[in-house]
Amino acid sequence: MTIGLICGSGIEEFIEGEERSTMRTPYGDVYLIHGEMGGVKVTLIPRHGLKHEKPPHRVNYRGNVYALRANMIEKAIGISAVGSLNLFFRPGDLIVIDQFIDFTKGRATTFYENEAVHVDATEPYCPTIRRILHTSGKRLALRIYDHGTYICTEGPRFETKAEIRLFNLLGADVVGMTNIPEVVLAREMGLCYATLCVVTNWAAGIQERVSMEEVCVLMDQKKEDVKALLGEALPRIDEAERCPGCLEMDAKAERWIKELKAHQDTKPLHNNQETIRGKQ
């Protein structure tokens, strides 16, 4: 079985036996990197594009999640940089979040635009993958936590001090710009999905300024930890059973994929793939 990874730039360098392709979806083209990590087959999607050219509010969230499910992928991990509002979670920490608060504004948040489909979001992240990520991190003696509430803003600007004070009152622990609608779409597609957050900075008002340069520097420093964690966790995730909550939308998602493929006015879905041989 292949496991999906949706993340920023840098993680793709750890994939072995790499092959790259572009997949045509009803939501636009999606760039895929196929290979192995920890002896497990993976398909990685660079969320912002290979050159980090797509800002958070312009990411092709529906295309990314559709591409995973259309490739018969049923388990996925999102990796995201976040700022911390909670003084307990320090820059450099890893958090397997368990809740979210949605403060986005103009994003397409569902596949089902022409019918009323209401997915349960009581526990929005797959508990099985969350548990495996956390216990794998503990085995490696990483500073990792198994809970946290992620508040998602529209971006691309960073937040004001006043916004951070409000988010703190709402119970948020970390703030980012990409987890919504990714987690919701994953549930709609019946994916077992969890998010691993890397704390890269304190939120606005806790530290004097927030910069993208600072975020990139710390993410680069944590790449080896993320690589080690995935190497430990992926074989266990591969063997794990899918959880009932994620399976609830499975049949609906299969029918939706078939319907979209049937109505797509192009040649077969992978018709325009250009494969590039990478690291062996």
Is residue 191 within 8 A of residue 66, CB to CB? The reply is no
Return the pLDDT at 234: 97
Angle at 179 between CA 225 and CA 24, to 5 degrees: 100
Q: Say yes or no to pLDDT of 270 above 70.
A: no
Segments making up each domain of the chain, as ranges: 3-264
% of the chain beyond a pLDDT of 90:
73
Return the pLDDT at 80: 95
Q: Say yes or no to pLDDT of 127 above 90.
A: yes
Is residue 109 within 8 A of residue 115, CB to CB? The reply is no
Instruction: Indicate the SS3 state at residue 100.
Output: strand
Superfamily for the 3-264 domain: Nucleoside phosphorylase domain (3.40.50.1580)
Beta strands in the chain, from DSSP E residues, in sequence order: 3-7, 16-25, 28-37, 40-46, 75-84, 94-96, 99-103, 144-145, 149-153, 174-176, 192-202, 276-277
Sign of CA pseudo-dihedral 13, 15, 16, 17:
negative
Asked which of 15-19, 84-88, 136-140 is least confident by mean pLDDT, the reply is 15-19
The residues, any chain, with a CB within 8 Å of residue 275's CB and separated by 6 or more, are 19, 20, 21
Q: Say yes or no to pLDDT of 262 above 80.
A: no
208-238 pLDDT, tens digit per residue, is 899 989 998 999 999 999 999 999 999 999 9
Angle at 276 between CA 271 and CA 280, to 5 degrees: 135
